[in-house]
A and B are shown apart, each in its own frame.
Chain A
């Protein structure tokens, strides 16, 4: 049996005999992916619950309520009589906002007096608060403008003329990239690689760190016929293949979910991911070899990967971040994967187009690979370090 095959067999036996190892490679990614797919089960949120406090109880107030409720994004739950009830329902999360239609609404509309409508939204639930703000604002403004148009038509203007006078500047929007504001493309498609990159890092640390912790370097090295590169490659082959298969599964799932085959390049996305995988495997190997203990390596790996999602600029814009966050972001390899993924999924970029994003990733991979090999070589060749972990 060659050193490579013997090393491979040894690694397989280690994998099936260590629950944490196989859990990190198979079970935990599966659990996380199922959970995330369940969390982002729809592309966007509809029917955000809200109440109306109708103090007028007139046909005009009912018309305004109807206007708001016509929006697919709003689910009008109850028409209440008091503000206290509405606030209590917001606090208990039964609704995310309410609107008060004041007493005298109909009378004021017929006599031409101005009416003020107050709406309250739960902005601690930022996303739903913003949805309700937009819908209430839009609904009430539409009601208001239709009243103004009627006034001008009553004064003798044609409908078009009245409309042009009431809304002289109309707007039309173009959403570039993620045209349907699909949250599955925005969050699910980015959180899955985030979890995956944590697992790549963790598994790489487990593979080498556990060996160093158990003091089994000699056995590992001798099984691979004392050939350094054979020892490394035979050790990394199985986790590399499994993690790459996870990556491919994620990318295929995302493509199927977004129906992206027609416009985006799956190959480019997979290549970008594989390069990221190599990079994080090299970082994991470096951490395992450089830090004083297996536990410390895992802690540092956690620090490097877990908060990364906050820095990459998906949830919060980079131009509003401070210089430290921007610098840290630039040195996170996963940032460049996200940039490539964004270009591929939202801007129809091909592999050649994402090369500028992949170059820094390749640079990181090279640097960390050299660092990992040097650090591991030192660990393996120096018997005094075999049991110091």
Chain B
């Protein structure tokens, strides 16, 4: 079978193959609408907290109002007395607590330091860290107000008092994700993994179809070229769909222009196509690609280092990860989209070359073995 007839046959199969079309069209659409749903709020706020106010003074009531006014915290109950298990159990929705002891204002008036305990459930790190940060910043602001009063009484003018009460101030600017949006942090990376996995599943099903249905296997080079062209275009279309349509729908806008995007999308997509060809070369059924792709999706995302940093990974895994097209692709696309940075393309093109070559080689091996088997058994594929 010639390269051209292989090309035409592959295109015809893809057009008729409902299973692959579902994976290529319905899955991205469904997942891109469904997956971001839990993260649509994007940030953590209104963490339910309870306060044991054992003083119930003007000061403590004002401080509690300040805590409640913090967007990240929501005081759901102010209770008298000391922290106790019965109260805590009575508010199962509470994630955070604090306690103002009975002599708080009196001790501050006597220029004695007072210690306020706070804490919370650490079932969800994001909730605990958000609440703890909001709480400590509020207490620091209260401390600053009190300190300012002390220095004002010493210095007699507010400029000096301000400088002495707060000699070094710090401003922290959040780069690239100014709102610290959890949605922007996680969902684009998930979408890129989705592109990778859709290509693996599509190519695997498309490849397995010929063996399962006992159809002509086609010329390996012709089929390779066809899959390379078709699925690269599909990969680029999916990236455009996610970044141009679905992410802006979630108010996540990218900074790079279309050409900068193509610059990194192309090596990523080619690498993913090559990886898919290699990964699925020995698959004989359409469903095999689904079974093998599902469980590895989460590890692929995590290995990329966007969710859990390389700093915390085993060295051998960091080494392995750099050969995966998904690792480079996720980081490179995020660099262009949100860091306005053109990454080094060498690794991306290197991976694309290696995986595509390996895919071609394995397909020659598989087709050769298949044809040999049929020659020896005297069967002819339908």
Which A residues are within 8 Å of any B CB, using their own CB?
A: 19-20, 23-24, 28-29, 31-32, 35-42, 44-48, 64, 90-93, 97, 109, 112-130, 133-134, 136-137, 140-141, 143-144, 147-148, 151-152, 155, 160-161, 163-179, 181, 183, 186-187, 191, 194-195, 198-199, 202, 206, 209, 213, 293-295, 298-299, 302-303, 305-307, 309-311, 313-317, 319-322, 324-325, 328-329, 342, 346
Contact = CB atoms under 8 A, between A and B. Distances in A.
Given A136-B172, A177-B122, A321-B41, A165 B147 contact: yes
25 contacts: A20-B285, A20-B287, A28-B291, A36-B302, A40-B308, A45-B309, A48-B311, A118-B172, A129-B174, A137-B170, A147-B167, A147-B168, A151-B151, A165-B147, A168-B147, A169-B115, A174-B117, A177-B123, A178-B122, A186-B125, A299-B23, A303-B34, A310-B38, A320-B43, A320-B44
Interface in B109-161: 111-129, 132-133, 135-136, 139-140, 142-143, 146-147, 150-151, 154, 160
Contact of A298 (B132, B291, B307): B291
Q: Which 5 A-B pairs have the closest CB atoms?
A: A174-B119, A144-B168, A123-B174, A38-B317, A91-B341
Given A317-B127, A320-B41, A307 B31 contact: yes
Contact of B287 (A35, A133, A294, A319): A294
Contacts of B35: 307, 310
Interface in B39-65: 39-41, 43-48
Given A35-B302, A137-B172, A151-B164, 18 more contacts: A19-B288, A38-B316, A39-B308, A39-B313, A39-B317, A40-B308, A109-B167, A112-B160, A118-B171, A118-B173, A144-B170, A147-B167, A160-B113, A170-B114, A172-B116, A295-B19, A316-B39, A324-B37
B295 interface: yes
A316 B168 contact: no
A175 B120 contact: yes
Contacts of A165: 111, 146-147, 150
Most buried by B among A48, A123, A307, A311: A123
A77 to B, nearest CB: 12
Given A91-B339, A124-B185, A147-B168, A167 B113 contact: yes
B78 interface: no
A115 B167 contact: yes
B27 interface: yes
Contacts of A209: 287
Nearest to A305: B294
B312 A42 contact: yes
A37 B35 CA distance: 25
Given A29-B295, A148-B167, A169-B142, A123 B119 contact: no
Contacts of B119: 173-176
A307 B34 contact: yes
* Residue with the highest number of chain A CB atoms closer than 10 Å, among B123, B136, B298, B299: B123
A119 B117 contact: no
Given A20-B291, A324-B37, A316 B182 contact: yes
Given A137-B172, A319-B48, A173 B123 contact: no
Interface string B310-343: 0111101100000000000001001100111101
B291 A31 contact: no
A116 B287 contact: no
B168 A168 contact: no
A74 to B, nearest CB: 12
A302 B294 contact: yes
Contacts, number: 343
A141 B317 CA distance: 38
B12 interface: no
B171 A116 contact: yes
B122 A176 contact: yes
Interface of B: 19, 22-23, 27, 30-31, 34-35, 37-41, 43-48, 93, 95, 104, 108, 111-129, 132-133, 135-136, 139-140, 142-143, 146-147, 150-151, 154, 160, 162-178, 180, 182, 184-186, 285-288, 290-292, 294-299, 302-303, 306-309, 311-314, 316-317, 331, 334-335, 338-341, 343
Given A40-B308, A169-B139, A310-B38, A119 B171 contact: yes
B308 A183 contact: yes
A342 B247 CA distance: 33
A134 B120 CA distance: 18
Contacts of A129: 174-175, 177, 180
A324 B115 CA distance: 42
A375 to B, nearest CB: 19
B123 A178 contact: yes
Contact of A198 (B184, B287, B294): B294
